[in-house]
Structure formats: C-alpha cells, structure tokens
C-alpha cells in the first residue's frame, strides 16, 4: 500500500501514533471519571479511590506529554505532505504549459507552411489571371483573388476565426504527432 512512498508511510505512522495516544488519553480520562464516580458513590474506600485517581491522573499527564511530543512530528509530516502535493501540482502545471507551448510552436510552424503555400497559390492565380485578362485592371490582385471573410477578418481586424468544433487539445496532438 505504501511501497515507494516513505513520506506517506511516515505521515501515516505519526498520525496513527497520535490517534492511539489520543485514544489512550480518553481511556485515562474515563478511568479518572469512573474512579471519581465510584468514590463518590461509596463503592471504593478513600485509599483505593485515591490510588485509582492518582494513577489515572498520572497516565493522563504522561499521555499529554507524549501527545505534545508527537504533534510537532505530525505537523511537520503534514507540512511535508502539503509541500509535496503543491510541488506535484506545480510540476503538472509546468508540464501542461510546456506541452501547450510545444503545440503552439508546432502550430506556428504549420501556419507558416500554409501561408507560404497560400501566397504561392495566390501568386500563381494572379499570373494566370493577368495572362488571360487584358484589362487595365488585370494587375489588381482583388480582381483575381479575394480572401474568405474569416481570413480577411483575422488579418485585417484581428478577429479570431470561428472554431471548426475541434478542440485545441485535439488539434495540438495532431500537429505534434506530425
């Protein structure tokens, strides 16, 4: 159960030790209360009742000292556990960010490749259009090609194109796999 997890095991041992001591303290307090009740009810003579009260008080005092000694270890174990858990969360966030950055770099590379192909295709379309059209307006690019509205809005207005319903994570995985 705790193989390879010494901090977890140590934490569990300290907590179990503290819990056991707390239970023993509760028993000592119950013994004290029972001895006091028996003494008041006259079930015990004063010597026996006093001895039982003294024993219960001494046990409770010893257990309180043991509990006081264990509490800092439990507190330290809890602090170590919490720090380790925070370190794991930080590492997971760092890893997720690194994966995201890798995916963004791959997407940036892919976008550059697509832009190069688009520009090449636009240039070819323009040349063919100019060869075919003898009008004075033949040398105006919009006569031969216009970007789609989402592309125009993205470039001119900085508007993010509508998603094609594919999640960013799925696109990132596909791009990185290529």
Which distant-in-sequence residues (6+ apart) come within 8 Å of 17 by Cβ?
70
- Tell me, what DSSP letter sits at residue 1? -
Q: What is the pLDDT of residues 139-161, one digit of tens each?
A: 898 888 999 999 999 999 999 98
Please list, residue by residue across 115-147, b when 16 or more beta carbons sit within 10 angstroms of its beta carbon and e when fewer do.
eeeeeeeeeeebeebbeeeeeeeeeeeeebeee
Q: What percent of the chain has pLDDT over 90?
A: 34
Predicted TM-score (pTM) of the model is 0.50
Tell me: pLDDT of 124 over 90.
yes
Longest CA pairwise span in the chain (Å): 127
Q: What is the pLDDT of residues 77-106, one digit of tens each?
A: 888 888 989 999 999 999 999 999 999 999
Quick one: pLDDT at residue 64?
A: 82
Which distant-in-sequence residues (6+ apart) come within 8 Å of 11 by Cβ?
74, 77, 78, 80, 81
Q: State the average pLDDT for the chain.
A: 82
Q: Angle, nearest 10°, between helix axes 46-132 and 6-41?
A: 150
């Amino acid at each position: 159960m705790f193989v390879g997890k010494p901090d977890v095991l140590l934490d569990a041992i300290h907590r179990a030790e503290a819990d056991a001591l707390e239970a023993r303290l509760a028993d000592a307090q119950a013994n004290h209360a029972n001895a006091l009740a028996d003494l008041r009810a006259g079930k015990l003579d004063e010597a026996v009742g006093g001895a039982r009260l003294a024993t219960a008080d001494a046990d409770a005092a010893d257990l309180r000292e043991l509990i006081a000694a264990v509490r800092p270890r439990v507190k330290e174990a809890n602090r170590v556990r919490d720090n380790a858990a925070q370190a794991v969360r930080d590492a997971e966030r760092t890893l997720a960010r690194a994966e995201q950055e890798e995916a963004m770099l791959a997407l940036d590379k892919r976008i550059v490749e697509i832009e190069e192909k688009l520009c090449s295709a636009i240039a070819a379309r323009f040349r063919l259009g100019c060869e075919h059209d003898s009008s004075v307006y033949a040398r105006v690019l919009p006569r031969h090609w216009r970007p789609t509205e989402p592309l125009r809005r993205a470039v001119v207005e900085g508007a993010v194109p509508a998603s094609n319903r594919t999640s960013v994570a799925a696109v990132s995985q596909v791009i990185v796999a290529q």
